[in-house]
Amino acid sequence: MTKTEDSDILKEIRNNNTREKEVIQVMNKENSKTWEEEGIIYKKGRIYVLNNKKLKEKILKENHNLVDVGHSGQQRMFDLIKRNYWWPGLKEDVKKYIQRCFRYQQNKIQHQKKLEELHSLEIPQGSWQKISINIIGPLPRSNGMDAIIVIVD
């Protein structure tokens, strides 16, 4: 984080005078771990980001495509942000941000085995010459049953 980014974000945090119930409760409960200094709330040494969608989005954006780190993935981005900031749901917000990132989705490494192409089955000459049976389950119980059998001729 550069000094200008830092000061812009800190200015926005200082200018937002709202104190959410959750923050006040945490400050009262964890007195030694949470404090306020110059209009900024700190929790365990990290800046508490108020429930401000634009501000959170700005922090996420600035920590996603850093020049010295590159286009970071979910865990790396989470680790970078949590060094300086904290808010309820931070990990989930990082996950959603990464899922929306077109460039990341294009370049991420696929760890799944490639699926083979589907092939049509031969059309039999008459009924019951070829059948396939699939059992689907276990499913939540309904009328004492927990599976479905599918038979195709």
Task: Print pLDDT tens along the chain (153 aa).
Answer: 444 445 788 888 777 666 666 666 666 676 667 787 887 888 888 998 888 898 999 999 888 876 666 667 789 899 999 999 999 899 999 999 988 876 666 666 667 777 788 888 778 888 888 888 999 999 999 999 999 999 887
Q: What does pTM read for this prediction?
A: 0.59
Secondary structure (H, E, C), 115-145: CCCCCCCCCCCCCCCCCEEEEECCCCCECCE
Three-class DSSP category at 89 = coil
CA distance from start to end of the chain: 64
Q: Does domain 3-107 have CATH number 2.60.40.10?
A: no
Helix then strand then coil, in percent of the chain rounded to 5, is 40, 20, 40
Compute how many other C-beta atoms are within 10 angstroms of the C-beta atom of residue 46.
16
Instruction: List b or e across 74-101, with b for residues whose CB sees 16 or more CB atoms inside 10 angstroms.
Output: bebbbebbbeebbbeebeebbeebbeeb
